[in-house]
Each structure stands twice: as C-alpha cells, then as structure tokens.
C-alpha cells in the first residue's frame, strides 16, 4: 500500500509590474544644420535645354517644308523627273464664255435650252415676243405700197407733162413760121414761147416728183428690211457649237437691250492658262508643243499647242498654291487644245478642271514616256 506524500505549496514572490518608460529624447544638437527638401539643380542644365529647343524647332519646320515640297512635286509631276528643255506649271482648263443676249428691249417668249445642254451652231435657244415688230412690219409694207402708187402717179404726170411740152413745142414752131409770113403778130409768138417754157418747167418738176417717189419707195423698202432684221434677231441662236452654262432669264421676263438670256461655253476654244518664269517663257515660241495632265484623269495625257505668250510679266496669281511662287514675276501663256480633238470628246470637256501643263521650250528635247499622248476612247 502506497502512501502519497503531499508537499506543502511553495509561495514564490511575484514579479514586479512593468512601468511605462518615458520616450527617449534626442540629445540637443549643439550645432544644428538646416534640412534641404530638394536636391540642388545641376548648374547649366536648364540653359542647355533652352539652347537646344530653338534649333530643334527650326529643324522640324524645315523638314515639314521639305516634305510639303516633295508632296507638291510628286502630285504635279507624277514623280517624273523632267528632262532639260521641258518645264511644268499648274493651271485650270478654261473655255471662251459667250453671252447670248437680246438686241432690242422686249419680253422673252420662250427659252428652249436648259443648263448643261449641248447646242450646235445656229440652233435656236430662245425667242422674244415680236407682236409689236410684226405690227411695225405691216405698217412698213403699207408705206411701201403707198410709195409704189405715188411713183406710178408721178410717172403718169411725167407722161402728161411731156405730151404738153410736145404740144407747146409744135405750136411755137408754127407760130414762128406764121410770124415770118406776117400772118400773126409777134405778141402771139411771145405767148406761145411762154407756154413752151412753162411746159418744159412743169416736165422738169414732174420728173423730180418721180425721183422723190422712188426715194420714198426705197425708204419704205429699207424700213421693211430693218424691221425684218429685228424680227430675225428676236430669234436667239447659238453663235457656235458649245454647252449652255447658265440660263439667265426665264419666259415672261422683260429685258433691256443687251439683256443676257443664255451663258454658254465655246467648246471649240478650250485652253489652259499657265505661268512660266522669264528664263522659260523667253525661250518659248508660238506653236510649241505642250502636254496637259488633269487631276481628275491622271491616266490621260492630252496634246496642246502654245498660242499665246504675254508680252509683260506679272505676279503669279493666287491660284498657285504656295506663297513663294506667288511672289515671282511670271509670264502668262495659253496652251490651246485642238478643236478637232475637242469635237471628238466634247461631252467630257469641263471648264475649271485643275491640272498640270508641260511645255517643251527646247524643240530638241524628247518627251519622256510618262508624258506620251494617251487619250480616252472616243
């Protein structure tokens, strides 16, 4: 049998409770140094950036101008390097404008064409009201008939006066014979002589009346022709083949003399106006060959001839793209298209189309293959 030995509990002394310690305070610095929040700038760094900023901007500007010039050259030359003796200039296709206007003041009766219609030479495009002219024409015809009757009357009077003169001459001749035989008095001879003189003067006056009647008849005939011409001019016709560009008046409107009714383009007189500097224009001769390439159809190359070179220089007009080009003195030239060629393709001819003209200032120069003539099918 075991006996458990129990030991009395031992009471150990408790640990003392921890007390909060006061925060450590840094020791006062006898020689304080100010704290700087940012690093000091490197001397000369900002000035270097400012010094390089200007040249870089100018370099970018020059590169932009060069790129624009290269794009302009590529656009207007198709990337083709022109041989010596061939120069180029941009322009627009132009056609001679013709205004079909009234000769006399009046009311428009009808307009027979619309804008964009093609017309042939002599085709009627409009008519004016001719009621007043028709009345004047009938009046002139009546005057002419009156003048014819007056002429006939004057001729009859001349015949009468001529017979009277013949009678007076016979009486005078017999009176002279009788006076020689002392059968009548001298007073009778003087009376017969006076009758003869009166008959002669009367015949002369009658002949003058015939001349007056003839002049009146001619005047009446001229009035008829004038009025007929006014009636004919009241029918407005196209002076040449072309295209009606504008319809400037409508039926029923009253226009003054010279009032415009139709504005049309003469498609037989189509050209491109170009501007060349003095060194190129001075070598250019009338009749020189040219080639035209239009922006709307760059696949075609159209032949042309130089028909005009200005005698005085001028500043390049504003239609030229760059201000630098506009500051130059240039000569205006005209590259004319062949009318027969225009006739074959005149439905495709449109004024105002921009393009580039190439001019051969040296007859010995050879056109490059890119400027060989290429025309659309008729």
Q: In the chain, what percentage of residues exceed pLDDT 70?
A: 77
Phi, psi (rounded to 5 degrees) for 113: -125, 160
Q: What percent of the chain has pLDDT over 90?
A: 44
- pLDDT at residue 24, as a whole number: 43
pLDDT at 11 over 70: no
Could you identify the residue written with the tokens 């009627």? 124
What pLDDT does residue 270 have?
93
State whether residue 280 is helix, strand or coil: helix
* Residue 15: band (very low, low, confident or very high) from pLDDT cuts 50, 70, 90: very low
Q: Band of the pLDDT at 39, cuts 50, 70, 90?
A: very low
Q: Taking residues 12-40, what's their average pLDDT? A: 44
The fold of the 99-128+235-255 domain, in CATH, is OB fold (Dihydrolipoamide Acetyltransferase, E2P) (2.40.50)
Neighbours of 317 (CB within 10 A): 12
Q: Is the pLDDT of residue 6 over 90?
A: no
| pTM of the model as a whole | 0.62
Q: What is the longest distance spanned by two Cα atoms in the chain? A: 241
Rounded mean pLDDT, 34-47: 47
10 Å Cβ neighbour count for 126?
A: 21
pLDDT in the model for residue 195: 85
Strands 260-277 and 254-255, bridge-based pairing: unpaired
Give the Cα separation of 238 and 261 in Å (integer): 11
The pair of three-digit structure tokens given for residue 319, joined into one six-digit string: 């239609």
> Domains of the chain: which residue ranges?
77-97+266-371, 99-128+235-255, 131-233
Query: Rounded CA gap, 371 and 301, in Å?
Result: 6
54-97: pLDDT as tens digits: 666 666 766 676 565 555 544 544 455 788 889 988 899 999 99
Cα 325 from Cα 101, distance rounded (Å): 40
Residue 56, token pair as written in the block: 């870089």
Residues 72-84 as b/e (b if ≥16 CB within 10 A, e otherwise) read: eeeebbeebebee
Dihedral of CA 333/338/342/345: which sign?
negative
Domain spanning 131-233 has what CATH number?
1.10.287.620
Q: Does domain 77-97+266-371 have CATH number 2.40.30.170?
A: yes
Give dist(CA 41, CA 48) in Å, integer: 13
Higher pLDDT, 36 or 346: 346
Mean of the pLDDT values across residues 96-104? 94
The whole-angstrom separation of Cα 357 and Cα 330 is 15
Q: What is the pLDDT of residue 268?
A: 86
Structure tokens at 358: 């190439």
Confidence of residue 327 (pLDDT cuts 50, 70, 90): low
How much is the pLDDT for 271? 94
**pLDDT of residue 220 exceeding 80:** yes
Distance CA(352)–CA(9), nearest Å, equals 124
Instruction: Write the pLDDT tens digit of every residue in 242-294.
Output: 999 999 999 999 999 999 999 999 988 999 999 888 888 888 889 999 999 99
Q: How confident is the model at residue 334 (pLDDT cuts 50, 70, 90)?
A: very high
- CB proximity list for 19: less than 8 A, separation 6 or greater: none
What pLDDT does 4 receive? 39
Higher model confidence: residue 258 or residue 179?
258
Q: What is the pLDDT of residues 199-210, one digit of tens each?
A: 889 888 988 999
How far apart (Å, rounded) are the C-alpha atoms in residues 283 and 285? 7
Residue 330 tokens, joined: 């240039």
CA-CA distance, 360 to 370, in Å (whole number)?
A: 14
Where is average pLDDT lowest: 131-140, 145-154, 315-324, 368-377?
315-324
- Bridge partner list, 294: 297, 355
What's the rounded Cα separation, in Å, for the pair 206 and 97? 58
């Amino acid at each position: 049998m075991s006996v458990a030995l129990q030991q009395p509990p031992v009471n150990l002394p408790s640990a003392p409770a921890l007390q909060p310690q006061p925060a450590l305070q840094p020791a006062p610095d006898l020689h304080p140094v100010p704290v700087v929040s940012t690093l000091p700038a490197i001397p000369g760094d900002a000035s270097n950036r400012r010094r390089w900023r200007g040249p870089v901007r100018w370099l970018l500007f020059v590169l932009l101008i060069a790129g624009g010039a290269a794009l302009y050259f590529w656009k207007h030359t198709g990337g083709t390097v022109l041989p010596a003796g061939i120069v180029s200039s941009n322009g627009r296709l132009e056609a001679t404008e013709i205004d079909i206007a009234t000769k006399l003041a009046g009311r428009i009766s009808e307009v027979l064409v619309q804008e964009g219609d093609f017309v042939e030479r002599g085709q009627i495009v409009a008519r004016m009201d001719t009621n007043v002219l028709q009345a004047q024409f009938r009046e002139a015809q009546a005057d002419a008939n009156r003048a014819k009757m007056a002429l006939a009357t004057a001729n009859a009077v001349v015949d009468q006066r001529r017979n009277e003169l013949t009678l007076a001459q016979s009486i005078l001749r017999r009176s002279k014979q009788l006076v020689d035989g002392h059968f009548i008095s001298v007073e009778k001879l003087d009376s017969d002589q006076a009758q003869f003189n009166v008959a002669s003067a009367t015949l002369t006056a009658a002949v003058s009346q015939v001349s007056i009647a003839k002049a009146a008849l001619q005047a009446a005939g001229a009035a008829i022709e004038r009025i007929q011409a006014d009636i004919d001019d009241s029918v407005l016709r196209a002076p040449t083949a072309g295209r009606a560009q504008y319809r400037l008046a409508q039926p029923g409107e009253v226009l003054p003399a010279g009032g415009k009714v139709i504005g049309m383009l003469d498609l037989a007189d189509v050209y491109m106006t170009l501007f060349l500097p003095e060194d190129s224009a001075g070598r250019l001769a009338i009749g020189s060959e040219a080639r035209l390439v239009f922006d709307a159809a760059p696949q075609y190359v159209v032949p042309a001839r130089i028909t005009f070179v200005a005698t005085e220089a001028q500043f390049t007009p504003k239609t030229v793209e760059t201000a630098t080009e506009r500051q130059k003195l240039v000569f205006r030239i005209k590259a004319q298209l062949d009318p027969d060629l225009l006739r074959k393709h005149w439905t495709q001819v449109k004024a105002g189309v921009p393009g580039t003209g190439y001019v051969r200032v040296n007859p010995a120069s050879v056109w490059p293959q890119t400027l060989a003539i290429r025309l659309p099918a008729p």
